[in-house]
Homo-oligomer: A and B are copies of this chain.
Amino acid sequence: MAITIAELARALDARFWGEDSLTVTGAAEPAQTPPVEGGSGLIAMAMSPRYAAALAPGSMALLAEGMDPETYGLRAAIFAPRPRLVMAGLTRAFDPGPDIAPGIHPSAVIDPSARIGEGAAIAPFVVIGAGVEIGPGARIGAHVSIGRGSRIGAEAVIHPGARIAHGVIAGDRLIVQPGASIGGDGFSFVTPEESGIEEIRRTLGTREGIKAQHWTRIHSLGGVEIGDDVEIGANATIDRGTIRATRVGSGTKIDNLVQLGHNVVVGRDCLLCGLVGVAGSSRIGDRVVLAGQVGVSDNIEIGDDVIAGGATKIFTRVPSGRVVLGNPAVKMETQMEIQKAVRRLPRVMQQLSKFQESVTRLLEKG
């Protein structure tokens, strides 16, 4: 892709300075951005004075408001009022997109009853089941499998090796990173008699007798329902529901290696970061952010707008709007106090035992 820097500024809805006819061919860090040559070159990402030191005179750059392009000897600059937002537009402009050629590769095995939307691209060795619908403009990468009756919306991008089982209904602009599994069977088993887990949940930890227990499988008849504009990370796993579907709301973004159990409901515009696990049947509200390695127990509810810090372990209901941290999860400020107190604890205990001794001695005297 190549675009003039003035056009790029217009596309980003951002202020422009300098020679408007220079052509931008890509983006790079300041140290990797040479001066413009022959009227075209890269644009340097220098959205803080800290990064600007490495700018080459004669180059183009993206700057924060308030930075002076002349100081750095630039030939042209774009100003980013909210730098990460401008990054979004700029990276989209230069992303050549995934490696999926247009058209349907002859090696793909597509059930005759499947319907492939106009302009959809299907890569080598893809397997598509009966009754599947692929939306217009969707791109399906190499080695993807899509089970019978699943529907993928328009302009979806399914990266190589992603696994979409049967009965998965997804909206438009779905992005699935490599190796993600959507619609695997739920992890749901039952013992003929009360199991050890049921016993300790009932007794809060006490076990009266330990018996042999074999696990009988509860099959997963529900599918997975996914809204519009959802992204699912590499090797993430979303299990199908037992009776009704597991659900992910529109606008929600799921990172690599996240696990969503059967029957889980995730609301709209959530962020679930890497290695998050949500156990079966839990419900997560809208705009919830779960940082990396957060865990959510089964059958609990997380309200809207909850934010959980890194590695928080959530065992009980969290009301809407709360910011939580720690294992077990408590309010973030409470956790901060606890951490401070715990760090002081060994010293305080030593002091206390001395204090106790001397007071005891004094009182015995008295």
A244 at interface, CB cutoff 8 A: yes
Q: Which of A309-353 contact B (CB under 8 A)?
A: 310-311, 313, 315, 321, 323, 326-328, 330-334, 336-346, 348-349, 352
Alpha-carbon distance A161/B161, docked complex (angstroms): 7
Total identical chains: 3
| Cβ A181 vs Cβ B235 within 8 A | yes
Cβ contacts under 8 Å, A321 to chain B: 207, 210
A165 at interface, CB cutoff 8 A: yes
| Cβ B345 vs Cβ A341 within 8 A | yes
One of A2-10, A66-74, A138-146 at the interface: A138-146
| Cβ A85 vs Cβ B143 within 8 A | no
Q: Which of A291-320 contact B (CB under 8 A)?
A: 291-293, 295, 297, 304-305, 307, 310-311, 313, 315
Q: Which of A227-260 contact B (CB under 8 A)?
A: 231, 233-237, 239, 242-244, 251, 253, 255-257, 259
| Cβ B26 vs Cβ A129 within 8 A | no
Q: How far is the CB of A225 from chain B (nearest CB, A)?
A: 13
A127 at interface, CB cutoff 8 A: yes
Cβ contacts under 8 Å, A187 to chain B: 233, 253, 255-256, 273-274
Alpha-carbon distance A255/B278, docked complex (angstroms): 12
Alpha-carbon distance A200/B221, docked complex (angstroms): 41
| Cβ A179 vs Cβ B177 within 8 A | no
| Cβ B145 vs Cβ A91 within 8 A | no
A87 at interface, CB cutoff 8 A: yes
| Cβ A196 vs Cβ B295 within 8 A | no
- Given the known interface contacts A187-B273, A345-B338, the answer about A160 and B237 at a Cβ–Cβ threshold of 8 Å is no
What are the interface flags for A178-215 relative to B under an 8 Å C-beta threshold, 1 for contact and 0 otherwise? Answer: 11010011010111100011001000111100101111
Alpha-carbon distance A337/B307, docked complex (angstroms): 27
Identify the closest chain B residue to A32 (Cβ). B244
Cβ contacts under 8 Å, A41 to chain B: none
Q: How far is the CB of A287 from chain B (nearest CB, A)?
A: 6
What are the interface flags for A69-87 relative to B under an 8 Å C-beta threshold, 1 for contact and 0 otherwise? Answer: 0000000000000101101
Alpha-carbon distance A327/B343, docked complex (angstroms): 11
Identify the closest chain B residue to A44 (Cβ). B243
A48 at interface, CB cutoff 8 A: no
| Cβ A88 vs Cβ B293 within 8 A | no
- Given the known interface contacts A28-B243, A234-B237, the answer about A274 and B259 at a Cβ–Cβ threshold of 8 Å is yes
Query: A27-B243, A82-B190, A204-B332 provided; 15 other pairs, C-beta below 8 A?
Result: A85-B192, A85-B216, A91-B221, A127-B160, A161-B181, A163-B234, A181-B256, A187-B255, A205-B332, A273-B279, A277-B293, A311-B327, A338-B343, A340-B346, A359-B359
Cβ-closest 8 pairs across A and B? A91-B219, A163-B178, A184-B234, A205-B332, A181-B234, A95-B219, A84-B190, A237-B256
